[in-house]
Amino acid sequence: MIKDKMENFLLLYVCYYFIFCGTAIGYGSDDYDHFPAKSCNQTEFKCKSGKCIPGNWQCDKEHDCYDGSDEDPAVCRLKPCNRETEFQCSPGECITKFWICDHQNDCQNGADEINCHNTKNCTVDQFTCRSGNGECVALAWMCDDNPDCSDGSDEADCSKLLNMHHPPLMPCVIL
């Protein structure tokens, strides 16, 4: 009985590890870099090693390619920000617009906290609604399919945010 529970726990742990860490199959595995080169689709970035990663993982300050080619400073310095979803701190440095005036310096130069005045008084565990009236809601209420901000901005751009840096989920099978 205990052995069965331990085996089920281990299988569940391994499955969760693959889902949340993105290893073994798909994105995230360093060993995946050693597979033969393949062509990437238009929305993907091709590492020097031949590995394909989601295009929005390039120049995000996280090394997703084993060789670091997705964070090459010469390339990232020239990459433009997505004007709909990102704020440009400096050439080649972009952050999500949700981090502007959140009382945390997310830009290296602090540009995301300049000229905020007292328009946004939200704490670090709150989302600042875009209405401009200082309205705040809990971060946990963002992207929950229930508008909490008077302007509904806590539900805007959710699909883009959720796809920023999460690999696709794979089904778990416990034998």
Are 132 and 119 in contact by the 8 Å Cβ rule? The answer is: yes
Q: How confident is the model at residue 160 (pLDDT cuts 50, 70, 90)?
A: low
Q: How confident is the model at residue 14 (pLDDT cuts 50, 70, 90)?
A: very low
Give pLDDT, residue 41. 92
Beta bridge partners of 87: 95
**55-95 per-position pLDDT tens digit:** 888 888 889 999 999 999 888 888 888 888 889 998 878 88
With tokens 């073994």, the residue in question is 24
Q: Return all residues near 136 (Cβ < 8 A) that are at least 6 apart.
A: 120, 121, 122, 123, 126, 127, 128, 129
Give pLDDT, residue 172. 53
Are 44 and 167 in contact by the 8 Å Cβ rule? The answer is: no
Give pLDDT, residue 47. 94
- Pick the closest to residue 125 from 113, 110, 137 (CA basis): 137
Whether the pLDDT of residue 108 is over 70: the answer is yes
Q: What is the mean pLDDT of the chain?
A: 75
**116-152 per-position pLDDT tens digit:** 865 556 788 888 888 766 788 898 999 999 988 888 8
Q: How confident is the model at residue 6 (pLDDT cuts 50, 70, 90)?
A: very low
Assign 3-class secondary structure to 23-53. Answer: CCCCCCCCHHHHCCCCCCCCCEEECCCCCEE
Whether the pLDDT of residue 170 is over 80: the answer is no
DSSP for residue 60 = S
Alpha-helical segments (H) within the chain: 2-21, 73-76, 158-162
Strands (E), 83-152: 86-90, 93-96, 126-128, 136-138
User: What gap in Å lies between CA 87 and CA 28, rounded to an integer?
Assistant: 26
Could you give the percent of the chain with pLDDT greater than 70?
A: 65
Within 10 A of 118 (CB to CB), how many other CB atoms are there? 7
